[in-house]
């Protein structure tokens, strides 16, 4: 066993699967002592309320761990994997390895915080020092409060407050040198059973994504070079490559918000004409913080209406309609394109997320939680804050909610944001031959037009499962009851 002055440090990795700008790793490396890098897949902690991650995110996690393992291997340090209860594993590993210190980056979510507190206590009882760092957000929830001490519920004042805090700390470099600790047994990534086997539905994910820190950095760089110009407009166009695509990387902390913040400011300083685009992009990072702060204040955000007046809302129970939505068989091309993109790639364009969510909640009158859960299971970027907060926003029961009368028209949205039908053609191939004037509303086509495009409604592509006008009117009627709390 190492003597006390050279005792190893444990760095506990969680939603921060990177080496750069990693406060805990940086601090551990700075001690000059050996470092044990640990990741614990903890699916035992439901008692704390931590939400088990969904299927697509599990796939991403496996790839991200592989990438991290590789990077660490290059730095001469193994990644130690364990499957089980972190509150038991970490103190035990400290004992077995003779570690005197455990470093980790906090996760500003109540259930994680509770687990961290348990672990810190268990360590203290064994004479092990726990050192923690903030950094999964631009600002900690306690740094943005109203005078009454509450979290802000409106984005604009929230974002102004964040901006008033000034620049977040400069990102830290990757540690220059890491000393490997004593040999410690590790599980394998395969043994964590994170990836699908039979059937292997991850083909589309593999085609679409390269998880890991290096890929995240490259994506940020490419985005700033090629797509920041025009971002404010192009971000709304699912038929263009106008978004950063950083969300899953952010979800697993392969890149940090402050790295993105500083890189974007640097890019905008070099090219002042991009100031407005940069502001828009950074405000999206602000939305991530906003949703996480909200989650911090409301741990059951994914299950409870933020506005209690919605508690008595009579959602429709319609499994058939829910299935049609999930499978991209609603008969509305933009909705179906989005749902199929999600199933294939693990993401959906932001604009289309709003359209499909509005369709489920308003046209079909299905409980937003059913949609939120589906997204949670199928999105590689499923975020504990963003996902429920935005579903509640669309449903009208959230913070700073969309007005109840805002019902997206799937035909207009398609025509406006996918004017050539390129997005629909890509994901709903059976409609690709339709002229672009009809591709967002195939039911308006003449029999000849349908025939020459090879479309048979009700056979090769479904009839709309609900008429837009009727659905809209039904939704407005149902929402009338909730109005006024």
- Matching residue, tokens 């828009």: 280
Single out the residue of 221, 323, 470, 483 in contact with DNA (rule: CB under 7 A). Answer: 483
Letters for 238-277 (x = contact with DNA by CB under 7 A, - = none) are ----------------------------------------
Phi, psi of 105 (to 5 degrees): -90, 130
Of the candidates 315, 430, 443, 449, the residue annotated as catalytic is 315
Q: Considering the rule CB under 7 A, would residue 416 count as an interface residue with DNA?
A: yes
Does residue 343 carry a catalytic annotation?
no
Residue from 54, 3, 45, 11 nearest 347 by CA: 54
Instruction: Return the range that interacts with DNA (CB under 7 A); candidates 73-81, 99-107, 146-154, 186-194.
Output: 146-154
Letters for 63-82 (x = contact with DNA by CB under 7 A, - = none) are --------------------
Residue from 351, 227, 236, 352 nearest 278 by CA: 227
Single out the residue of 150, 176, 177, 459 in contact with DNA (rule: CB under 7 A). Answer: 150
Q: Considering the rule CB under 7 A, would residue 279 count as an interface residue with DNA?
A: no
Single out the residue of 187, 279, 400, 430 in contact with DNA (rule: CB under 7 A). Answer: 400
Pick 10 or 475: Cβ nearer DNA: 475
Q: Considering the rule CB under 7 A, would residue 310 count as an interface residue with DNA?
A: no
Q: Considering the rule CB under 7 A, would residue 155 count as an interface residue with DNA?
A: yes
Site for DNA in 449-468 (CB under 7 A): 468
- Matching residue, tokens 């398609």: 414
Q: Considering the rule CB under 7 A, would residue 485 count as an interface residue with DNA?
A: yes
Residues 115, 118, 122, 125, Cα dihedral to 10°: 150
Least Å distance, CB 148 to DNA, is 8
Q: Considering the rule CB under 7 A, would residue 469 count as an interface residue with DNA?
A: yes
Number of Cβ within a 10 Å radius of residue 83? 17
Q: Which of helix, strand or coil describes residue 125?
A: helix
Single out the residue of 146, 210, 225, 460 in contact with DNA (rule: CB under 7 A). Answer: 146
Single out the residue of 221, 271, 317, 406 in contact with DNA (rule: CB under 7 A). Answer: 406
Q: Considering the rule CB under 7 A, would residue 405 count as an interface residue with DNA?
A: yes
Q: Considering the rule CB under 7 A, would residue 105 count as an interface residue with DNA?
A: no
Single out the residue of 51, 426, 472, 474 in contact with DNA (rule: CB under 7 A). Answer: 472
Does residue 368 carry a catalytic annotation?
yes
The 3-state DSSP composition of the chain as helix, strand, coil percent (nearest 5) reads 50, 5, 45
Single out the residue of 403, 447, 448, 459 in contact with DNA (rule: CB under 7 A). Answer: 403
Least Å distance, CB 351 to DNA, is 6
The region that residue 104 occupies, defined by phi over 0 for left and psi between -120 and 50 for alpha, beta otherwise, is beta
Does residue 376 carry a catalytic annotation?
no
Q: Considering the rule CB under 7 A, would residue 412 count as an interface residue with DNA?
A: yes
Edge-first strand listing for the sheet containing 35-41: 79-83, 35-41, 9-13, 101-105, 129-133
Distance CA 285, CA 262 (A): 12
360 neighbors 344 (Cβ within 8 angstroms): no
Contacts of residue 230, Cβ cutoff 8 Å, sequence gap at least 6 = 242, 277
Single out the residue of 147, 176, 177, 198 in contact with DNA (rule: CB under 7 A). Answer: 147
Residue from 85, 54, 398 nearest 252 by CA: 54
Does residue 391 carry a catalytic annotation?
yes
Does residue 284 carry a catalytic annotation?
yes
Least Å distance, CB 374 to DNA, is 18
Token reading at 204 = 């589309």
Instruction: Return the range that interacts with DNA (CB under 7 A); candidates 183-191, 206-214, 364-372, 395-403.
Output: 395-403
Number of Cβ within a 10 Å radius of residue 203? 11
Residues binding DNA: what is the number (CB under 7 A)? 40
Distance CA 372, CA 186 (A): 35
Q: How would DSSP label each residue in 397-412?
A: -STTPPPTT----HHH
Least Å distance, CB 15 to DNA, is 21
Side-chain-side CA neighbours of residue 288 (13 Å)? 24
Q: How would DSSP label each residue in 257-282?
A: HHHHHHHHHHHHHH-GGGHHHHHHHH
Distance CA 342, CA 205 (A): 10
Least Å distance, CB 188 to DNA, is 39
Q: Considering the rule CB under 7 A, would residue 236 count as an interface residue with DNA?
A: yes
406 neighbors 400 (Cβ within 8 angstroms): no
Catalytic residue ranges? 284, 287, 315, 350, 368, 391
Binding site for DNA (CB under 7 A): 146-147, 150-158, 160-161, 236, 284, 287, 350-351, 354, 390, 393, 400, 402-409, 412-413, 416, 468-469, 472, 480, 483-485
């Amino acid at each position: 066993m190492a003597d006390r002055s050279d005792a190893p440090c444990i760095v506990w990795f969680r939603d921060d699967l990177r080496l750069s700008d990693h406060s805990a790793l940086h601090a551990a490396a700075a001690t000059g002592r050996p470092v044990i890098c640990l990741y614990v897949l903890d699916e035992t902690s439901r008692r704390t309320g931590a939400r088990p991650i969904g299927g697509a995110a599990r796939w991403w996690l496996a790839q991200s761990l592989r990438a991290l393992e590789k990077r660490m291997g290059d730095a001469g340090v193994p990644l130690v994997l364990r499957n089980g209860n972190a509150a038991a594993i970490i103190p035990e590993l400290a004992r077995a390895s003779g570690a005197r210190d455990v470093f980790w980056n906090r996760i500003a979510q109540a259930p994680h915080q509770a687990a961290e507190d348990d672990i810190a206590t268990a360590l203290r009882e064994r004479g092990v020092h726990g050192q923690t760092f903030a950094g999964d957000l631009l600002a900690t929830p306690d740094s943005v409060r109203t005078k009454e001490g509450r979290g802000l519920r409106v984005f604009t004042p929230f974002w102004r407050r964040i901006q008033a805090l000034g620049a977040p700390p400069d990102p830290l470099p990757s540690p220059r040198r890491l000393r490997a600790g004593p040999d410690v047994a590790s599980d394998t990534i395969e043994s964590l059973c994170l990836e699908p086997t039979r059937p292997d539905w991850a083909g589309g994910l593999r085609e679409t994504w390269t998880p890991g820190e290096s890929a995240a950095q490259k994506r940020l760089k490419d985005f700033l070079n090629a797509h920041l110009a025009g971002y404010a407009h192009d971000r709304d166009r699912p038929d263009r490559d106008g978004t950063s695509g950083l969300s899953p990387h952010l979800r697993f902390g392969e890149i940090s918000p402050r790295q993105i913040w500083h890189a974007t400011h640097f890019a905008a300083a070099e090219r002042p004409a991009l100031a407005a685009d940069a502001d828009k992009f950074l405000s999206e990072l602000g939305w991530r913080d906003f949703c996480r702060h909200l989650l911090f204040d409301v741990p059951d955000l994914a299950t409870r209406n933020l506005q209690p007046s919605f508690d008595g809302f009579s959602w429709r129970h319609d499994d058939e309609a829910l299935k049609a939505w999930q499978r991209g068989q609603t008969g509305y091309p933009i909705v179906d394109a989005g749902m199929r993109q999600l199933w294939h790639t693990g993401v959906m364009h932001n604009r289309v997320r709003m359209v499909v969510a509005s369709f489920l909640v308003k046209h079909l009158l299905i409980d937003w939680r059913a949609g939120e859960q589906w997204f949670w299971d199928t999105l590689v970027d499923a975020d504990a804050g963003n996902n429920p907060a935005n579903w509640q926003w669309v449903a009208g029961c959230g913070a700073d909610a969309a007005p109840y009368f805002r019902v997206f028209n799937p035909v207009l949205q398609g025509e406006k944001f996918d004017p050539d039908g390129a997005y629909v053609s890509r994901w709903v191939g059976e409609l690709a031959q339709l002229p672009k004037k009809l591709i967002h509303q195939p039911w308006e086509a003449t029999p000849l037009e349908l025939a020459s495009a090879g479309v048979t409604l009700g056979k090769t592509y479904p009839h709309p499962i609900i008429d837009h006008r009727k659905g809209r009117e039904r939704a407005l009627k149902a929402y009338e009851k909730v109005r006024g709390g």
